[in-house]
Amino acid sequence: MKKVLRKLDGGEFITIEYKSHEGWVYVNWIGLQSVETVKAGGEAMLEALKETGCSKFLNDNRELVGPWDKANDWVQTNWTPRMLEAGLKYLAFIVSHGRYGKLSAEDAHRRIGNKFEMKLFDSYDKATTWLQSVN
């Protein structure tokens, strides 16, 4: 299973791929995000969870540019409860190297981090090591 969502100009803003050999769903956010793209990407993540039944997600923001915190109210009140209901247990979150993306991730973590196991990481290796260690 692999999904690619594009903006109106044709550029990719998110790819989602079930890595069955790894045991998680890999989500790569690309470029500048808006409230609308965060919502569309969140809905695609929910679909991937329902399709795969996989309770582990690797959320990669290394290619993300700028802030996305304007979507955090929706993430907290709408997306998170539905992801929990569908079976999300673990979310490894590789933060953007940019200041605003990192602040957006930290805000999201404060809002939803206690609903399921969500950890912030600064590297792919650290994130995957943690995901491999949890059941």
Q: Read off the pLDDT of residues 11-63 as tens digits, 9 standing for 90 and up.
A: 999 999 999 999 999 999 999 999 999 999 999 999 999 999 999 999 999 99
Higher per-residue confidence, 114 vs 25: 25
Q: What is the pLDDT of residue 23?
A: 96
Q: What is the pLDDT of residue 129?
A: 97
Question: Between β-strands 90-94 and 117-121, what pairing exists: parallel, antiparallel or unpaired?
Answer: parallel
Residue 115: which pLDDT band, with cuts at 50, 70 and 90? confident
In this structure, of 61-65, 104-108, 125-129, the range with the lowest mean pLDDT score is 104-108
Q: How far apart are CA 135 and CA 90, in angstroms?
A: 9
Q: Number of structural domains, the chain?
A: 1
Nearest 5°: phi and psi at 110?
-60, -40
User: If you average pLDDT over every residue of the chain, what do you get?
Assistant: 93
Residue 113 has pLDDT above 70, yes or no: no
Rounded to two decimals, the pTM is 0.92
Q: Which domain holds residue 31?
A: 2-133
Q: What is the pLDDT of residue 107?
A: 84
Percent of the chain with pLDDT over 90: 79
Query: Under DSSP, is residue 105 helix (H, G, I), strand (E, B) or coil?
Result: helix
108-122 residues labelled b (16+ CB within 10 A) or e (exposed): bbebbbeebbbebbe
Q: How far apart are CA 36 and CA 34, in angstroms?
A: 5
* Dihedral angle of Cα 127, 121, 46, 56, to the nearest 10 degrees: 30
Q: What is the pLDDT of residue 110?
A: 82
CATH of the domain at 68: 3.30.750.24
Residue 108: which pLDDT band, with cuts at 50, 70 and 90? confident
